[in-house]
Copies of this chain bind each other. A is one copy, B any other.
Amino acid sequence: MELIESHLCFGGEQRRYKHSSKVLGCEMTVAVFLPPDFGPHTPVLYWLSGLTCTDENFVQKAGAQRLAAELGLAIVAPDTSPRGDAVADDAGYDLGKGAGFYVNATQAPWAEHYRMDDYVVRELPPLVEALGLGQRRGVSGHSMGGHGALVLALRNRDHFASVSAFSPICNPMDCPWGQKAFTAYLGEDKAGWAAYDASVLLAEAKAPWPIRVDVGLADNFLAEQLKVESLEQAARQSGSVLQLHRQAGYDHSYFFVASFMEAHLRFHAAQLK
């Protein structure tokens, strides 16, 4: 990984790297926050951003560095999709670049580059840990990335030791964003979709950790796209612990995310130490 930017921030370092991703077949940028005195004892929280975002949105808007520095948490914020002229794209904001959906695509023209599941879970961690960080990993994210956090954790229960989400798409098989993305990336056959649906995965087997989810009740996407009730039902079905916080008056923006970032960072830190 090549360091392209570094800023001292709350006594830690907000870095930005670029690297040639073998998994995605393109050059990627990734943000890494290193707390003061980081080392092999330092756990790493992976943050997955939402539609239209890059590796920069979280870093600039979430206000996480203050408490991450205090708690001794590193935070890795990858980009949301493969990038570059060689990578397939779509005119819609909710498909293609900026909308990787954290799946391994199986369909043309997406399958060649869109392997965000493998990128986040297999390729990035060794690169990140080689900076001198520990192997205790948490995952969180927002919206499409909130779903990414839930589904990557539920698919890799030993890989992550803590998971939370803000405003996640909870049941993509049953909402327009998810149906559009899964049809494109995974094909028409819905049998293949279940392996990337957080509500289906959570219903099938008890989660090994408590899951914290915050949603705003003034979120425009809540009813049609997020479907938190499906996640609640899935948790009941498998006897999983879901700490679902419905926050009155909050919307889908980073103003909401920033407002509850402290609660999520403390939630992760408690499980990652």
Footprint of B on A, CB under 8 Å? Answer: 7-11, 14, 60-61, 63, 65-66, 216, 218, 249-251, 253-256, 258-259, 262
Contacts and interface: CB of A to CB of B under 8 A. Distances in A.
A10 B8 CA distance: 25
Question: How many copies, total?
Answer: 2
Nearest to A261: B66
Contact of A10 (B7, B61, B66, B258): B258
Given A8-B249, A218-B8, A250-B8, A255 B61 contact: no
B258 A65 contact: yes
Contacts of A216: 8
A130 to B, nearest CB: 24
A254 B255 CA distance: 17
B10 A259 contact: yes
Nearest to A6: B251
Secondary structure of the A side of the interface?
mixed
Contacts of A14: 255
A11 B61 CA distance: 17
A8 B254 contact: no
Contacts of A254: 60
A255 to B, nearest CB: 4
B66 A7 contact: no
Contacts of A11: 259
A7 B256 contact: yes
B63 A7 contact: no
A60 B8 CA distance: 18
A174 to B, nearest CB: 28
A259 B9 contact: yes
A254 B250 CA distance: 25
Contacts of A250: 7-8
